[in-house]
Structure 1
């Protein structure tokens, strides 16, 4: 994974308002709060909020990715230590930028940085190779190393949320989401060039994106300032997107929610995130699903749970009762002398599994006490109580000991 040069001019931690040792949870929380405040839908026509929203989104895309964050931190640590800096004090890609001969780093580091004998690739050399858009190793030291044109940057990943009813989540559903985000320009189809024209090869660098220069015994390549290292030029920028190939606009996305999705689950939609500049690939869109509770069912894994009211007589004598499921009512047998609170299992009546089949429905029986009885029922109950006492039954015989 190559580190983007633009990263080094930004403090992504400051953009999100978190410390450099912030946890992944803290970063996610800070991003969601800022994204909600700055979203273009909440700030129509506010260009300052729109630019801040872009910065916050980019900061989150780097810091929420473990590998990207690691590379970003490593690069910033090297810059702050002074081991790698531009001749103008400006870090990477500044005017006169390059490796300094004194006070910047130990000459022994050159073997790693330029992939010299015994370097073996990897490490710092790979890191800085990524910073300049190509591999840093393998070239002749006296002639510098060959750089490839910087590819247009992939768009950032985006996050959104949706809420489903409990039973829709179990059965699966298709929802329409409205997303306002950087999208490919409809006028130039993402190229950045005016309709009827196309980007051309940069004459200044012959399409390489880099200019070579010598400093002492070493050759160096640095991004061509005229094409910003892309290797192409746009003579007539698209008026709608000012040559970026990207517009912020609302769009509707139909999302298929799979069967059995769980509360808090994230669904990834490849290529539905922020559009890349000048035709670069789009990022991904992550949809977090929230599920509203159901009045009858709860869920544990692939099993569903339900509480069914029954009478005292049904528990003692046993019965066959109807119990609701996701597919309608089915019969369940309650054995005689069933204890109040016992859980009965109906196989295959739970949440559908991806590999086929389904979980179970767990039915807990709960004795319902009548609120009012007529005189005949009361007299009959008194007779029963006397008969019960005559057997020596004591419901609290072992209770409280």
Structure 2
């Protein structure tokens, strides 16, 4: 059995500090990870790198390995010295990923404790589910829209160490009738699984962007329509906006402030793809400025109308 030079495997010199060991491992684990590497024998190289890191990342285990390396003779088969036994608990973490056994060299040094622990644990792990908010304009909530969603996924090596993030872009079809706070599940678009396990899911949390004109009530829209006093009193036609363009709306005579008028089918789509309604909420607005002539007309109107809007207070 040949002696394994774990320092050489990681491209390090003996005595390298912990930071150098971790940095070298992360770089090589990313390079040879079977899920991303196109190199020949990537899986075998990945296991060698992971095994080297298992030994060198712990000061106690590295001290044992360094002591044993003194007994290795160049070009000669290696055997642990008589009476040698690992002083630590040999409790190596599940860091191999993609394989089922440590090497014979490792087993000969540490008595298979790492192997037995690994067999008692599942080296495969489903990827993490990921949540992200998706801002959605009311105009985009009409059932035929697709949204480009760009995001990054954290990924980790078999030992839990972070690896470079994965950048993804999806063209997501927005189903009709989604409401604020609703979650859309995209199966398998979450964090990557380990050891051949399934990816996690991506959950998009819908956040309806407040509209400058429309308020939302379920799948109905509310539009505040300002009216001049004479428009409210005399009625007439006014042009009002909808999500799909402008329409002409007939205002009944004697319309009161706070009164609502239903405009059928001009709201948001529901789950069945049917539109809700738009409600025009009328608000009477007084002109901000008036010259003496206009004030005189207001005074004449008040005298002729003889109207007291607070009559009910005395009843």
The answer to whether TM tops 0.5 is yes
Distance 2:183 2:164 in 1: 24
RMSD: 3.0
Report matched runs for 1:183-222 at 5 Å.
none
* Contact 2:193 2:200 survives alignment (8 Å): yes
SS at match of 1:286: strand
Deviation at 1:250, TM superposition (A): 2.1
Report matched runs for 1:132-211 at 5 Å.
152-170=124-142, 172-182=145-155
SS at match of 1:304: strand
Distance 2:192 2:295 in 1: 75
**In structure 1, what is the equivalent of residue 196 of structure 2?**
279
SS at match of 2:249: strand
Is structure 2 residue 207 aligned with structure 1 residue 290?
yes
Unaligned runs of 5+ in 2: 1-23, 27-120
* Contact 2:178 2:271 survives alignment (8 Å): no
SS at match of 2:258: coil
Deviation at 1:360, TM superposition (A): 0.2
Distance 1:362 1:314 in 2: 18
SS at match of 2:309: coil
Query: How many equivalent pairs are there?
Result: 195
* Contact 1:167 1:294 survives alignment (8 Å): no
Question: What do the CA deviations read for 1:15-40 (whole angstroms, capped 9, x no partner)?
Answer: xxxxxxxxxxxxxxxxxxxxxxxxxx
Larger radius of gyration: 2
Deviation at 1:150, TM superposition (A): 6.5
Deviation at 1:243, TM superposition (A): 10
**In structure 1, what is the equivalent of residue 82 of structure 2?**
none
Question: What do the CA deviations read for 1:57-80 (whole angstroms, capped 9, x no partner)?
Answer: xxxxxxxxxxxxxxxxxxxxxxxx
Report matched runs for 1:200-349 at 5 Å.
248-254=164-170, 255-349=172-266
* Contact 1:351 1:358 survives alignment (8 Å): yes
Question: What do the CA deviations read for 1:164-187 (whole angstroms, capped 9, x no partner)?
Answer: 33433456441222122238xxxx
**In structure 1, what is the equivalent of residue 36 of structure 2?**
none
Deviation at 1:157, TM superposition (A): 1.6
* Contact 2:219 2:268 survives alignment (8 Å): yes
Distance 1:362 1:400 in 2: 33
Distance 2:242 2:191 in 1: 42
Please give the TM-score of this superposition, normalised by the length of structure 2.
0.55
**In structure 1, what is the equivalent of residue 282 of structure 2?**
365
Unaligned runs of 5+ in 1: 1-44, 48-148, 184-240
Question: What do the CA deviations read for 1:74-113 (whole angstroms, capped 9, x no partner)?
Answer: xxxxxxxxxxxxxxxxxxxxxxxxxxxxxxxxxxxxxxxx
SS at match of 2:140: helix
* Contact 1:181 1:250 survives alignment (8 Å): yes
SS at match of 1:399: helix
**In structure 1, what is the equivalent of residue 308 of structure 2?**
394
Deviation at 1:242, TM superposition (A): 6.8
1:153–1:250 distance in 2 versus 1, CA, 3 Å: closer
* Contact 1:159 1:288 survives alignment (8 Å): yes
* Contact 1:306 1:363 survives alignment (8 Å): yes
